[in-house]
Structure 1
């Protein structure tokens, strides 16, 4: 039986134990407590950013950097949640998710827009651009503005344009001359220009989502594909192809898109932070894209799993001549004036 003196000591001990626990909880979680006091659940804006490539690619790294900077610069008021690698939505599903408000940001390849806006197929034309500088002049100038204005018709807005890089072509035999493509089947993104490009070389095409490409190459469903080195490395396409040609025959870029209704519903101060941060991240992304593709190509070569070929000037000239008819075929589809504007760059 506990006497009064013992009971008093127990009560005092419990009191001090509670005090210590309270102090520890406040000290250890002070930042979280402040965050919750600064931004209520009702005030927090959640932006879901879905994309289909790996986190380690230029696009994946830029999306992550954008999220971190926005969360920091808004003191937690805006939380950008990034879902890479088709974790949330696959190719072909993202647009529906964006328009229905299930995600707020996506960054599809320009070719994915051509189903609704054929003018965007401009960026798929072979050998249209010789350098990143030419691409950026098109993106950031009158061509980019004209293409972006088209998106408003479907309740979408273009917020930025990011680089992936120049495409190289892979297969299980060397591709050095136009005739080497004959009878092969290539995976492409949905694009009339890309269909015409390979048809002009005597090859067939299959349009399929990006997340299915590895298994299609491995199984032999398709014989080859076109990708920048960053995609080839992160998705390990070089492990299921025996030959890679450094052709730089086409450009692959992305458009950061949002739902127009969602964007216009945001407070003006929040929109400004997002826009300013996107401009900064876009510049950074473009710088690392070129660097990463060079580094990734070296890693592919060092793997020893694929033979890498470089086109000679004579071979490159033959490719350009063989693909020239694609421009005439696509004039009505894309717009002759738009093509001429790009060629003048």
Structure 2
């Protein structure tokens, strides 16, 4: 009898010990209560991660151009700040797309991100041609103020409606004329020349000055000048220097007739699908690069014009008191711009003229 009772007691005690041990283990594995609103450490770590994405970025400018340097730094910073999660794959100097093919590829999603001139975007958004309207902008600071305010917002909205989100207005600088026939000291000197154009409104200006416009991509100009397919070209002095215009042209006329902007844009459907965290990082980094590029534009214009002169080109700076003749001859281009760009174009022109 005693042995039976002893066995019962022993079994009860063993069960109590096992229950106590199991309870302790259960308590140890329970998720501790959050205190003071603290987030779960695992969830918090995951929220710090950027979603993985690959962005192909194409541009056509020479890699040592100040815009190219700024764009490369932008891509590098996005990748670094995202811890490599946002993989920026850069295709420079026309490796992936020509400037003529860039916009359609970007709008169709063939490439996610690209850099191209405002001039070439004007065929999609006619109001973007405002930068090509002759003698609209007089100095570098005026352009920065315009694109940073309501003027720029209207253009960004028009581009978004077409499917391209504008991340940056990259200042290229003023546009000039180079040729290998004669010194261009007045619009009358253009008569009979074939001039490489960069877009619709520059072509209208070339015609207004009495020359024939020939449209071609930036990478084709050197050979065309060398073979006398064209007599001259319009471009910024930065690209003229990097594309070695001094080897195939003799004369350079500085008249600052237009201010060329390059746009860093991203396919809007692709952009809208990116997480807000990624959008914010890309936008902030683009804004930083935009400021740096704008700070370089004037210096690069001056330095490159001087370098072309030192390389042997004959440079003519149109005197301030002679610009009225150039502006008067270019006046028809304003009317063409308003006809093409409609109410938005007129609004933008009024905004710039009012400053």
* Pairing partner for 1:186 from 169, 183, 195: 195
Equivalences for residues 131-142 of structure 1 within 5 A = 131-142=139-150
TM score, norm. by length of structure 2: 0.82
Give, in whole Å, the separation in 2 of the partners of 1:272 and 1:43: 13
Query: Which secondary structure state, in structure 2, belongs to the residue aligned with residue 108 of structure 1?
Result: strand
Per-residue deviation, 1:209? 1.3
1:250 paired to 2:258: yes
The 8 Å contact of residues 301 and 308 in structure 1, kept in 2 or not, is answered as yes
The 8 Å contact of residues 176 and 315 in structure 1, kept in 2 or not, is answered as no
Q: Equivalent residue for 2:104?
A: 96
Query: Which secondary structure state, in structure 2, belongs to the residue aligned with residue 115 of structure 1?
Result: coil
Q: Deviations over 1:32-51 (max 9, x none)?
A: xxxxxx9xxx9532211101
Per-residue deviation, 1:90? 0.6
Q: Equivalent residue for 1:47?
A: 55
Give, in whole Å, the separation in 1 of the partners of 2:107 and 2:70: 23
Q: Equivalent residue for 2:158?
A: 150
TM score, norm. by length of structure 1: 0.84
Q: Deviations over 1:116-168 (max 9, x none)?
A: 22111111011110011111222122221111111223221111101000011
Q: Deviations over 1:199-247 (max 9, x none)?
A: 1111110111111111111111111111111100111112110100111
| Higher-Rg member (1/2) | 2
Give, in whole Å, the separation in 2 of the partners of 1:300 and 1:72: 37
Equivalences for residues 153-164 of structure 1 within 5 A = 153-164=161-172
Give, in whole Å, the separation in 1 of the partners of 2:309 and 2:255: 15
Give, in whole Å, the separation in 2 of the partners of 1:211 and 1:145: 32
* Pairing partner for 2:122 from 110, 114, 118: 114
Count of aligned pairs: 303
Q: Equivalent residue for 1:271?
A: 279
Per-residue deviation, 1:64? 0.7
1:338 paired to 2:348: yes
1:324 paired to 2:334: no
Per-residue deviation, 1:341? 1.5
Equivalences for residues 300-311 of structure 1 within 5 A = 300-304=308-312, 306-311=313-318
Mark the runs of 5 or more structure 2 residues left unpaired by the alignment: 1-45
Per-residue deviation, 1:73? 0.8
The 8 Å contact of residues 55 and 86 in structure 2, kept in 1 or not, is answered as yes
Distance 1:176 1:95, change over 3 A: same
Per-residue deviation, 1:318? 1.4
Per-residue deviation, 1:279? 0.7
Runs of 4+ in 1 over 6 A off after TM superposition: none
Query: Which secondary structure state, in structure 1, belongs to the residue aligned with residue 116 of structure 2?
Result: coil
Per-residue deviation, 1:253? 0.8
Query: Which secondary structure state, in structure 2, belongs to the residue aligned with residue 107 of structure 1?
Result: strand
Q: Equivalent residue for 2:95?
A: 87
Give, in whole Å, the separation in 2 of the partners of 1:82 and 1:98: 14
Give, in whole Å, the separation in 1 of the partners of 2:195 and 2:166: 29
The 8 Å contact of residues 206 and 212 in structure 2, kept in 1 or not, is answered as yes
The 8 Å contact of residues 129 and 251 in structure 1, kept in 2 or not, is answered as yes
Mark the runs of 5 or more structure 1 residues left unpaired by the alignment: 1-37
User: Cα RMSD (Å) of the superposition?
Assistant: 1.7
Per-residue deviation, 1:326? 2.0
Give, in whole Å, the separation in 2 of the partners of 1:195 and 1:301: 26
Query: Which secondary structure state, in structure 1, belongs to the residue aligned with residue 137 of structure 2?
Result: coil
Q: Deviations over 1:86-115 (max 9, x none)?
A: 011012211232133332111111011121
Give, in whole Å, the separation in 1 of the partners of 2:163 and 2:324: 42
Equivalences for residues 167-206 of structure 1 within 5 A = 167-172=175-180, 173-191=182-200, 193-206=201-214
